[in-house]
Structure 1
C-alpha cells in the first residue's frame, strides 16, 4: 500500500478542525440567540408549544373545521354522506316499527327533504339543558342522542345527535319539522346554529313524524356541488 503524503494528512486534519470550529461557532450563536430571547421575554423554540396552543372547539365548530373527520371528505361522496345520515334516522324509526313510510324529495335549488311518519324527535325541554328543547340539543350538540343504549332503539343505523348534528353543521340551511302529540313544531338552523327558537305552529291531525329539509353549505362543498338524484334513489332503495 502506498503511504499517503504527510502534507495531505495535515491538510485533511486542518479541514476537520475547521469543520468542528464552525459547528462550535454555530452552537455558540444559537445559545446567544436563546439568551437574548429570554432577556427580551420571548419563548424558546422548545417552549413555543404550550398549553396556550391547545385549541378547544365548542359546539359544532370542530365539524366545520375538519369535516373530513366526520364524513370522510368534502367531495361528492362526502356530500351524499349527509343524505345517508338523515335517511338512516328515518329508517331506524321504520325498523323499530314506529314508521310505515319514508319520503325523499329533491328540489331544484339544492335542498333535499326526508320525511317519515315515526314518533318525531322529542321537543320537550332537555333535563340537562333546561333552556333548550331536546330537538335543539340533538341538532347542535355532538354525541347527544337516544341511540347510545337499547332503551329507545334496539338496532340503529343513524344516530340522532351525532350524524344529524354533523349534517346541520355542514348545511347552509336546515329546517326540522316535528309532528308530535297532535302539535306541529319547527326550528330552523344555519351552519350548525339555530336562527330561531323552537316554534309551535299549531294543532295537526293525521300527521306525525319528522321532516328534515337541508341544503349543503357551498363554503364546505363548493359552489357547484349538487346531489345526484339517481344516487339518492339507489341509496334509498338500498335501505328498503
Structure 2
C-alpha cells in the first residue's frame, strides 16, 4: 500500500515536470504577463473585493455605499439618509452630507475628484483623519468597486448650490466587452443643500 502510494506520488511529480517542460518550451515571456488597470481587476476577481458573487456579496455592495453616508452622519455632517429599492432592482442611497468634492483633482488633470473617487481604486478621503475621524467600508475602494460591478451607476452631488451628475454604464456592447466610461459632468440646477444620491443596479 505504501509502495503504491509512493509510486502514485512519483507519477504525479513526473507529470507535473512534463507539463512544466512543455510550458517552458512553448515560450513563457513578458508578453504573457497581464497588467489589469483601472477597475478591471475588480471585474476579473470580484471575490477579492466583496468576498464572492453570491447574494451576500451583493449585500456587501449596498453596505459599501451606505457606509459612506453613515460616515457623514457619524462625523456630524449629515442628519438624514434615505434608502430606496424599487421593483426593478435599482437601489438608491442619498444623504444630506457634504457631498463628494467636484473640483479638479491635482493628481489627475482634467478629472474631477468625483470621477476619480468613482473610477480609481484606493482614492478617497479616509486614509487620514483630515476629513473623517472614524469611517467604515473599504477605505477608498468601496464605491469604485460598486461602480465596477454595477450594470449602471448614477451619482449626483450638490455642492455650492449646484447639482452635479455623472453616469457610468456598460460600454461598448456586447456585454463581454464591458467597459465603463463617464458621461460628461453637467451642472443642472441650483440646489439649496449639499447632498448626494447614488443609484446603482
TM-score (norm 2): 0.81
Equivalent of 1:164 in 117, 133, 143: 143
C-alpha deviations, 1:62-89, integer Å up to 9, x for none? 0001101100011001111100000000
Q: 1:44 to 1:101 in 2, by over 3 A?
A: closer
Distance 1:160 1:129 in 2: 19
- The 8 Å contact of residues 147 and 156 in structure 1, kept in 2 or not, is answered as yes
Distance 1:98 1:172 in 2: 30
Distance 1:53 1:103, change over 3 A: same
Q: Distance in 2 between matches of 1:174 and 1:44?
A: 42
Superposed counterparts of 1:55-74, under 5 Å? 55-74=34-53
**1:86 aligns to 2:65 (yes or no):** yes
Q: Distance in 1 between matches of 2:25 and 2:123?
A: 39
CA distance in 1, matches of 2:148, 2:23: 38
Which of 199, 211, 216 in structure 1 is aligned with 2:197? 211
Matched residue, 1:221: none
Structure 1 pair 145/90, CA: closer, same or farther in 2 (3 Å)? same
- Do structure 1's residue 196 and structure 2's residue 183 form an aligned pair? yes
TM-score (norm 1): 0.68
In terms of Rg, which structure is larger?
1
Indicate if the aligned counterparts of 2:126 and 2:140 stay in contact, CA closer than 8 A.
Answer: no
Q: C-alpha offsets along residues 143-182 of structure 1, whole Å, 9 cap, x if unaligned?
A: 0111101111111003564100000000000000001111
Partners of 1:91 and 1:204 in 2: CA distance: 22
| From 86, 102, 106, the counterpart of 2:81 | 102
Question: Within 5 A, what are the aligned runs for 1:41-52?
Answer: 45=24, 48-52=27-31
User: Is the 1:177–1:210 Cα contact (8 Å) retained in structure 2?
Assistant: yes
- 1:174-193 counterparts in 2 under 5 A? 174-191=153-170, 193=180
Q: Distance in 1 between matches of 2:184 and 2:76?
A: 30
Residue number in structure 2 paired with 1:77: 56
Residues 26-37 of structure 1: pairs in structure 2 closer than 5 A = none
Higher share in helix? 1
**Please, what is the CA RMSD of the aligned residues?**
1.9
Q: Distance in 2 between matches of 1:145 and 1:46?
A: 46
| SS of equivalent to 2:187 | strand
